[in-house]
Amino acid sequence: MSSRDIIVKVYRAGSKGVEVALNGDRTIDAALKAAELQMKSTEIVSVNGEELDSDEFDSYTLEDGDRIVLVKNIEGGR
């Protein structure tokens, strides 16, 4: 690991997470690819407990120690 690498942990809710090293591209998509996970259409992404919209994936820059969780999106009515 070089000094420019960061380590993030990627989870699918209910499963054991995997740590991945990122260097250069520090986006959600890069982390999911490194973890060999594909986001399902029924899932949302949370980074450190904060839900992100899919249009934020390319602009959100991950930092060392971030935790990414894929969670099933549960829609509810009022």
pLDDT 10s digits, 16-72 = 999 999 988 899 999 999 999 999 989 999 999 999 988 887 788 999 999 999 999
Q: CB–CB of 40/13 below 8 Å?
A: no
54/34 Cα distance (integer angstroms): 18
What's the CATH code of the domain at 18? 3.10.20.90
Does 16 map to a domain? yes
Does 77 map to a domain? no
Does 21 map to a domain? yes
Q: Which domain holds residue 57?
A: 6-72
For the entire predicted model, the pTM comes to: 0.84
63/47 Cα distance (integer angstroms): 10
Name the domain count of the chain.
1
Strand order in the sheet with 6-12: 18-22, 6-12, 67-72, 43-47, 50-52
